[in-house]
Amino acid sequence: MRKVIIILFSNYPLQLYILTFSRYHFPKGERIEMKTQLENIYSSAKADIENAKSINDIDEIRLKYLSRKGEFNSIKKGLKDLSDEDKRIVGALANQITQDLEALLKEKHDLFYQKELNEKLQKDRIDITLSGKYIPQGKAHLLTSTTNEIVSIFQNLGFSVISPELSPEVETEYYNFDMLNVPKDHPARDVQDTFYVKGMPGVVLRSQTSGAQIHVMENQKPPIKVVAPGRVYRNENINARKNNFFHQIEGLYIDKDITFGDLKGVLNEFIRLYFGAARPTRFRSSFFPFTEPSAELDVQCIMCHGEGCRICGGTGWLEILGCGMVDVNVLNGVGIDPDVYSGFAFGMGVERLAMLKYAVDDIRLFFNNDKRFLEQF
Ligand SMILES: [Zn+2]
């Protein structure tokens, strides 16, 4: 007959009594010894967990008791010397204690984790009602960014940017006027209009970027497809619409079979890309010495959409740029055969295009270096 003895240990969970003693008679010597060891380790582990102060302590306790080199494992190694039945009994006890300790460790770990998290949140609390810190940031001047934008549109249409040495700001009358078919008695040559360099006869501050056309055609064989951005100078009285220097972007396309249709296609596409949408344009007959035929390109007023307003002077149209087919005299002058090649040229004012796009009503704002104005763009 089997006898059942129950001895109550203070640190021993009820389920372990049931598991260990309920079904068996007196255990053998080794079984008792191992059981006692397990119980001792269990008590000591529980006490350690009770006294733990941090997640770090919990990790160390887990390492001390439950790791591969931990105390439980070294006891489990002794299981192999027991009888099969004892192995089952002591093994089950060891597993139960292990599970129990894991649960206690997790509970304590979660407690510390929550506590440490709360402390950290309290310590690192951010006051989102405080106003932000202003960090000044440099950026390109509106004229620079507008120039870059226009140039990149033409680059996407297959134009390349002329190298700076072919587009000098200090120029000779020869390139600024003569080679561009400007007659000797043309009023643009007058000192009233053009700045001449003192003490250097025939040297001017260029009044247009068109001289770059001549330089590039002298240096390069067709096909030529370039844009030349740069500063130009005119002897103007300064007012809201005019300054004595401003910026232009010159374009030139020379190849076989280039027609006015190509010119219209390229410039209409430019308008669409620059103003962000296709809008009505018109090519109005005009005159420039270096193009024939010549035209001014108007775009429907971006403010009133053709109704007529202050910006467009009631006409519903805005003048954007001058253009035309390169004059035969100009081609002959640089040694390009006009019977083989043809081409078009155009020139636009960067200030004017920026004023129209960003509704700037005074050209002087670009040059006053007033940060309140510049920071808006
Ligand atoms: Zn208008």
The string of pLDDT tens digits covering residues 291-325 is: 999 999 999 988 888 999 888 889 999 999 999 99
Enter the pTM of the model.
0.65
CA 267–ligand 1 middle distance (angstroms): 21
CA 263–ligand 1 middle distance (angstroms): 25
Convert the pLDDT of each residue in 107-153 to its tens digit: 999 999 999 899 999 888 888 888 888 888 888 999 999 999 999 99
CA 356–ligand 1 middle distance (angstroms): 10
CA 362–ligand 1 middle distance (angstroms): 17
CA 312–ligand 1 middle distance (angstroms): 4
CA 319–ligand 1 middle distance (angstroms): 11
CA 282–ligand 1 middle distance (angstroms): 15
CA 306–ligand 1 middle distance (angstroms): 6
Pick the CATH number of 142-374 from 3.40.190.10, 3.30.260.10, 3.40.50.150, 3.30.930.10: 3.30.930.10
CA 300–ligand 1 middle distance (angstroms): 8
CA 298–ligand 1 middle distance (angstroms): 12
Q: Over 70: is that where the pLDDT of 186 sits?
A: yes
Convert the pLDDT of each residue in 70-119 to its tens digit: 777 777 777 777 788 888 888 888 888 889 999 999 999 999 999 989 99
**Which pLDDT value is given to residue 16?**
52
CA 360–ligand 1 middle distance (angstroms): 14
Residue among 130, 136, 145 at smallest CA distance from 274: 145
Convert the pLDDT of each residue in 168-178 to its tens digit: 999 999 999 99
CA 355–ligand 1 middle distance (angstroms): 13
Structure tokens at 370: 């007033």
CA 270–ligand 1 middle distance (angstroms): 20
CA 375–ligand 1 middle distance (angstroms): 27
CA 357–ligand 1 middle distance (angstroms): 13
Give the pLDDT band of residue 12 (cuts 50, 70, 90): low
CA 318–ligand 1 middle distance (angstroms): 8
